Amino acid sequence: MAPKPWSEWSTTLSHLALGVVSLHAAVRTAQASRGAAAGFLLQALASATMLAPGLGTDEDCLAGAWVATVIGLPLLAFDFHWVNGDRSSANLLLGGGMVLAVAGDHLGAEGRSVASQAVVLVVAVTILIVAVFTANTYGMWGGAMLGAAGLLSRLEEERLLLLPKEDICRWALAAGSWAYHQALHTQRLQWE
């Protein structure tokens, strides 16, 4: 058996990191917030499908990533807005994600790509705004990392810092998910 090239290891490690961070966050937030836990769990499952050989086709893996993006991330933002009393933005983000999930079959590949990047950026910006107004440092970092992942995915370059661009995006998503989990925990402690 030939050893894996570095790019395959990098991809495996980035999926593993995102999956572990997301699963840990899902378990830790399950009691306090079912919505955020579901969002984290969707991210963990999408990463797991990419790691398991033969689990599904490439289309199944892409569909999992689509659902994790357009439903999972709005679920995370929904909870953050809800906890901070911004119920209209919470409902708008979640409703928009649900509409995109249903409309996904009617969008082409480029349309789904643009829609998923828009969801990432809208979620990141709204989390960042709420975090700034509530002085939640973890939320600021989480919003910044999610935004960075969204912006990096739009770059034309295939490699960044000697790693594949998609791997850098997953590392940024993992860091953003960890920070966002901490932000939720901090926010809940402030309200108790």
Q: Read off the pLDDT of residues 79-133 as tens digits, 9 standing for 90 and up.
A: 888 888 888 888 888 888 888 888 877 877 778 778 888 888 888 899 899 989 9
Q: Does residue 19 have a pLDDT over 90?
A: no
Write the DSSP symbol of residue 9: H
Query: For residues 169 and 10, what is the distance between their CA atoms, to the nearest angstrom?
Result: 12
Q: How many residues does the chain have?
A: 192
This prediction has a pTM of: 0.83
Residue 153: Cβ within 10 Å count: 18
C-alpha distance from residue 93 to each of 67, 88, 114, 125, 143 (Å): 14, 9, 16, 12, 15
For the chain, the first-to-last Cα distance in angstroms comes to 55
Maximum separation of any 2 CA atoms in the chain, in Å: 56
In this prediction, what percent of the chain has a pLDDT beyond 90? 6
In this prediction, what percent of the chain has a pLDDT beyond 70? 83
Q: Read off the pLDDT of residues 31-67 as tens digits, 9 standing for 90 and up.
A: 878 888 888 888 888 887 777 665 554 454 456 677 7
Query: For residues 129 and 142, what is the distance between their CA atoms, to the nearest angstrom?
Result: 11
